[in-house]
Amino acid sequence: MQPNLLTSRSIAVALAGVAILFAAAAAHANPPPPPDLNPIIFVHGGSGSAAQFETQAWRFASNGYPPELIRALEYDSSQINAILPAVLAELDALIAELQVETGRPQVDLLGHSLGTFVSQTYLSTPARAANVAHYVNIDGGSAAAPPGGVPTLALWAGADPPVGSIVGALNVTLAGQEHIETATSAEAFFEMYSFFRGEAPATTEVVPEPPGQVRISGQVNFFPSNVGITGAFLEIWEVDSATGLRVKKKPEAAALIDVTGDWGPIKIHGHKWYEFAVTRDGEVDLNFFYEPFLRSDHFIRLNIATGLAPFIDSSPNHTAITVVRQREFCGDLGAGSDSLVIDGSEVINLTTASCGSIAAGSAAVFAFDDGSNGVSNVNFVPFPFGPLAFLTATDLFIPADPPRSVSVVTVPRGGGATRTVNVPNLASTEARVVVNLYDFEP
């Protein structure tokens, strides 16, 4: 069961001319579904979640896939050896559910990283393999033959030579791409769609929906277990893009979270900016800020890493900000590196974001005043973030007084446009700020 949401108001379109434009956009954003679509199931990797497939779900929807056909299997990747039988049973149940809902006898399955171990184990049982029409193995385990005899596409990060292969599969190396990026990039989508459909997609872009049609839902979970945080309370606020401050006296929606973690769906406006505030008794608040939702999104994951909280120093004098993107930040590519400027300081460099190996590339940057001494050293990675896969940190002092806005400015590698997210400088003893960036160029 999903908790009830207390929606405060809906968005009305008043101008007839705008309505006509929205209608034309709707025809482009929601093309008729192609015939004979198989449901899609994404199985994430270590420290992952459905969030790694968020943009790909948008791209599939931009090419006619109904959102209800796109699902994710989530599990506690830190305990996979102990819980693997239960995870495989959950995949059985999800496939059976989709078979009933859609009338399709098979699904298309994708596994990323550790998710390829889960997927290949599932496919090793002939009766289970019979449920799968196509399999995509994303930068994970190699194999001597297509798993379970299922037609297989194997995508590999852009190493030379590739880090692996599946004999008898279609093996594709995505030049210049990192490990997480192989699951989230436009180039990966092109290969996935073409493999499933036997033809190229109409577009690899995220085609925006008319902004008044956007619906969102998701989960509030512990990281990396993907278990719902029972008793957490979620409020969704519209914010001013120029300041990050709330623009209304009441939230757009609110929900009490249960063990499923589920909330939504709710209606929002695709041109506006939102804050997701998670409060828990006796705990520091988590305030998540997103760039605008260009399409309906049901893979929003508000993940809280309680295991890392003791290592993030807090004080009433400084703000702690985490920046998340489902594409690695790379600071070792010279002029071609990513740029991430937080409150005027560049935090991506050779020390904080070297993309030399699977474990080195980081999709989350924790910025806080290490030692609460009021001094920054952006070339230093505080303990214990240095050896952690996919995570990094920097010692950055962001004053929390007087109240003001803090800018998070990104210029993605590869010639992306400059984008800015503004957030309030909340004291780290009261709240921690999380900024979620697109992993694509809108």
Task: Give the residue from 197, 229, 261 where a domain finishes.
Answer: 197
Mean pLDDT confidence for 181-195: 98
Residue 6, pLDDT > 60, answer: no
Confidence (pLDDT) at 21: 34
CA distance 392 to 355: 11
CA dihedral for 51, 82, 143, 71, sign (positive or negative): negative
Same domain, 215 and 185: no
Mean pLDDT of the chain: 92
DSSP structure class, residue 327: E
Residue 3, pLDDT > 90, answer: no
296 by Cβ neighbours in 10 Å (0-12 / 13-18 / 19+) ranks as buried
Same domain, 186 and 215: no
Same domain, 115 and 228: no
Judged by average pLDDT, the poorest of 86-95, 155-164, 324-333, 354-363 is: 354-363
Confidence (pLDDT) at 9: 31
Confidence (pLDDT) at 416: 87
Contacts (Cβ under 8 Å, ≥6 apart) of 320: 312, 313, 314, 366, 367, 368, 369, 398, 428, 432, 433
Residue 422, pLDDT > 80, answer: yes
Same domain, 120 and 72: yes
Residue 360: band (very low, low, confident or very high) from pLDDT cuts 50, 70, 90: low
Pairing of strands 262-267, 273-279: unpaired
Q: Look up residue 256 and give its two tokens.
A: 């009490």
Structural domain count of the chain = 2
Residue 163: band (very low, low, confident or very high) from pLDDT cuts 50, 70, 90: confident
Residue 215, pLDDT > 80, answer: yes
**What's phi and psi for 282, nearest 5 deg?**
75, 5
Confidence (pLDDT) at 16: 32
pTM score, whole prediction: 0.92
Question: Per-residue pLDDT tens for 100-116?
Answer: 999 999 999 999 999 99
Confidence (pLDDT) at 35: 72
Task: Give the residue from 143, 163, 197 where a domain finishes.
Answer: 197
SS3 state at 330: coil
**Amino acid, single-letter form, for residue 323:** V
Where residue 355 sits, what CATH number does that domain have?
2.60.40.2200
Same domain, 83 and 184: yes
CB 12 within 8 A of CB 213: no
Residue reference for tokens 């009490």: 256
Question: Per-residue pLDDT tens for 36-88?
Answer: 899 999 999 999 999 999 999 999 999 999 999 999 999 999 999 999 999 99
Residue 11 vs residue 149, higher pLDDT: 149
Contacts (Cβ under 8 Å, ≥6 apart) of 370: 313, 377, 380, 382, 393, 395
Residue 160: band (very low, low, confident or very high) from pLDDT cuts 50, 70, 90: low
Total length of the chain: 442
CA distance 126 to 145: 14
Same domain, 345 and 292: yes
What percent of the chain clears pLDDT 90, i.e. is strictly above it? 87
Same domain, 80 and 223: no
Where residue 185 sits, what CATH number does that domain have?
3.40.50.1820
Residue 6 lies in a domain: no
Domain of 253 in residue numbering reads as 211-436
Task: Give the residue from 168, 197, 226 where a domain finishes.
Answer: 197
Q: Where are the beta strands (DSSP E) in 296-336?
A: 297-304, 321-329
Mean pLDDT confidence for 14-28: 37
